[in-house]
Amino acid sequence: MGLSRLQGVLAQLYVDAELRERWHTDVVGLAKDFGLTAEETEQLAALSAWQVDFFAKSLKNKRLGQARKLLPSTAKVLGRSFAREFFAYAERPIPEGIDKHRLDTLRFVDFLGRRVNEGNDAVPAWVADLARYEAAWLELRKGRSVFEMRMFRYDLRKPLNEVGVTQDPSVPLRRRSMAFWICLPRGRVVHWLFPVQYTFF
Amino acid sequence: MDKALPSLGVGIGYREPILSELFLRRGSVDFLEIVADHYLDAPREKMKELELLSENFILVPHAINLSLGTAEGVDEDYLGKLAALVNWLDPPWWSEHIAFTRAGGVEIGHLSPLPRTRQAGDVFSRNVERVSERIHPPLILENITWLVDIPGAEMSEAQFVASVADQTGCGLLLDVTNMYTNAVNHGFDASAMLEVLPMDRVVQLHFAGGHTQEGVLIDSHGYATPDEVWDLMGSVVARAPVKGILLERDENIPPLDALLPELEQAREIGRRYRRWD
């Protein structure tokens, strides 16, 4: 098999669950779609399904580990659901480039928000807010913005205070809150999080 | 490979949680390895951290996403940024893996094994040649762990690593934990690899401890180094002109003090074979 073509097929097999499923059930059809020769098809068929699946799973675990590091409070509050939700999200490949893990985590935060909007009970709405709050810090850490602002549906102050001492912080009040971040010289960040009292928000 | 590379001693992979402790225990750490990718397109604060480290420690950049084994060639944008970083740091050497991490426009997200064929060796050698035009300090190449055995192999893992080292003229960063991990997972004798690998090319070692998942040993860099890896390290240092031994710890990072005994054990192995004082 031409090395370039072999690597392309392998890369897709490792990251694409649908393609893997197709490979499991119809390797000949898949090979035809990729324009592989009979010899190349044999080589593709000779890959160990167990090894490929295990490697694919380990790639997702690696992404999960990075997301846990970047969203520590969200991970703590969601507990085992964090991994379950992340694996549901991680059916799509990791973004490309140097900054891939941060981008991957930011996309996961968007995914959590969509889960809430779809009415999925596994992710409490306030936890999606918490994830967006942590995502704002990730945006700042990249150093491309000096100012961030976020609106939340819940008052996140109490859970943020509690998450350091308990895995099960109390559900916050459903009261809109707002956060500002301003980057100052020498890496300092000024940050405010406060409930919004006014109806014009 | 440049025979005149300096002897660095024992180091640790730099991770943010150990920053302040490193300065308190500066005498216990001879050099640091930094993950180069963390400083590409990095914010100003991150670069200041790098400056601080470079003023106080010998730094060795370790790249993880150059994808030297990709048949389509290396990413010139990534190479340009990496070259700027490594040339600026001007380290005694820098390292990358014998692997590919992207192909056909797909980012795999981790180091993936190359088919162990002459064609893959040729591609790898060509890519190293291109990289050497841009990055001036010497490159050393690291062996990886592999889970997927790609059909059509023309040689063993050790033969492939030896062949790549020979073709590229690069030194080796021998990860003894990876050697042990592959030996356990694929049922061969790690020490037998030493009969095939070009030991005179070994410049640096990596070591760490992993964990077992579903019967597979994973190189998670999250646990204490097992006895088998220490034994293997001793066998390698006895035969190879090792210039540096480095502990990698990425998960369950304890206070630095808890890791110092492992550094001391590695230092003692180097001393036993007169690799340093």
B273 with B238: CB under 8 angstroms? yes
Q: Do B214 and A54 touch (CB under 8 A)?
A: yes
Chain-centroid distance of CA A136 in Å reads 14
Largest CA distance in chain A: 70
Instruction: Say how many C-beta atoms besides its own lie within 10 A of residue B164's C-beta.
Output: 24
Instruction: Note the pLDDT of residue B1.
Output: 58
Task: Say how far apart CA B31 and CA B35 lie, in whole Å.
Answer: 13
The interface pTM score, or ipTM, of the predicted complex is: 0.93
Residue A186 has pLDDT above 80, yes or no: no
B139 with A48: CB under 8 angstroms? no
Average pLDDT, integer, range A50-74: 95
Distance from CA of A47 to the nearest CA of B (A): 6
- Taking 70 as the pLDDT cut, the residues of chain B under it are 1-3
Q: Give the model's confidence band at A172: pLDDT under 50 very low, under 70 low, under 90 confident, else very high.
A: confident
Q: Do A99 and B42 touch (CB under 8 A)?
A: no
Q: What percent of chain A is predicted at pLDDT more than 90?
A: 57
Q: Do A8 and B251 touch (CB under 8 A)?
A: no
Provide, as residue numbers in chain A, all residues whose Cβ is less than 8 Å from the Cβ of B115.
3, 6
Point out the residue among A2, A48, A63 whose CB comes nearest to the CB of B109: A63
Average pLDDT, chain A: 89
Residue type present at position A63:
R
Per the DSSP assignment, residues forming a β-bridge with B244 are B9, B204
Point out the residue among B109, B123, B218 whose CB comes nearest to the CB of A100: B109
Chain A within 8 Å of B126 (Cβ-Cβ)? no
Chain A within 8 Å of B187 (Cβ-Cβ)? no
Pairs of residues, one from chain A and one from chain B, whose beta carbons lie less than 8 Å apart: 103
Point out the residue among A3, A43, A52 whose CB comes nearest to the CB of B120: A3
B156-162, Cβ contacts within 8 angstroms, sequence gap of 24 or more: B156/B116, B156/B196, B157/B116, B157/B182, B157/B193, B158/B192, B158/B193, B158/B195, B158/B196, B158/B197, B159/B116, B159/B196, B160/B98, B160/B114, B160/B116, B160/B120, B160/B121, B161/B98, B161/B197, B162/B196, B162/B197, B162/B198
Task: Say how far apart CA A176 and CA B59 lie, in whole Å.
Answer: 48
Q: Give the model's confidence band at A198: pLDDT under 50 very low, under 70 low, under 90 confident, else very high.
A: low
Structure tokens at B75: 């990413």
Q: Do A143 and B42 touch (CB under 8 A)?
A: yes
User: What part of A 145-184 touches B (C-beta under 8 Å)?
Assistant: none
Q: Among candidates B89, B96, B94, which has minimal Cα distance to B64? A: B96
Distances (CA, A) of B35 to B15, B62, B63, B204: 9, 5, 6, 15
Chain B within 8 Å of A143 (Cβ-Cβ)? yes
Point out the residue among A7, A65, A95 whose CB comes nearest to the CB of B71: A7
Largest CA distance in chain B: 51
Task: Say how far apart CA B203 and CA B70 lie, in whole Å.
Answer: 24
Chain A within 8 Å of B265 (Cβ-Cβ)? no
Q: Where are the alpha helices (DSSP H) in chain B?
A: 19-24, 44-56, 76-89, 118-134, 157-168, 176-186, 190-193, 227-239, 256-272
Q: Which helix (H) or strand (E) holds B61?
A: strand B58-62
Instruction: Say how many C-beta atoms besides its own lie within 10 A of residue A71's C-beta.
Output: 26
Provide, as residue numbers in chain A, all residues whose Cβ is less than 8 Å from the Cβ of B216.
54
Name the closest residue on chain A to residue B65, using Cα atoms. Answer: A98
Distance from CA of B271 to the nearest CA of A (A): 36
Q: Do B100 and A54 touch (CB under 8 A)?
A: no
Chain B within 8 Å of A1 (Cβ-Cβ)? yes
Q: Which helix (H) or strand (E) holds B205?
A: strand B202-207
Burial bucket for residue A162 (CB in 10 Å: 0-12, 13-18, 19+): middle
Residue type present at position B22:
L
The 10s digit of each residue's pLDDT in A7-33 is 999 999 999 999 999 999 999 999 999
Instruction: Note the pLDDT of residue B3.
Output: 60
Provide, as residue numbers in chain A, all residues whose Cβ is less than 8 Å from the Cβ of B152.
1, 43
DSSP per-residue string spanning B241-262: ---EEEE---SS---HHHHHHH
What is the residue extent of each domain of chain A? Answer: 1-47, 48-195
DSSP, collapsed to helix, strand or coil, labels residue B85 as helix
Burial A139-157 (b: 16+ CB within 10 A, else e): ebbebeeeebebebbbbbe
Provide, as residue numbers in chain B, all residues whose Cβ is less than 8 Å from the Cβ of A8.
103-106
The 10s digit of each residue's pLDDT in A108-132 is 999 999 999 988 888 899 999 999 9
DSSP, collapsed to helix, strand or coil, labels residue B140 as strand
Instruction: Note the pLDDT of residue A141.
Output: 76
Average pLDDT, integer, range A101-105: 93
Point out the residue among A10, A143, A144 whose CB comes nearest to the CB of B103: A10
Provide, as residue numbers in chain A, all residues whose Cβ is less than 8 Å from the Cβ of B69.
7
pTM score = 0.91
For chain B, how many residues are written? 277
Instruction: Note the pLDDT of residue A201.
Output: 46
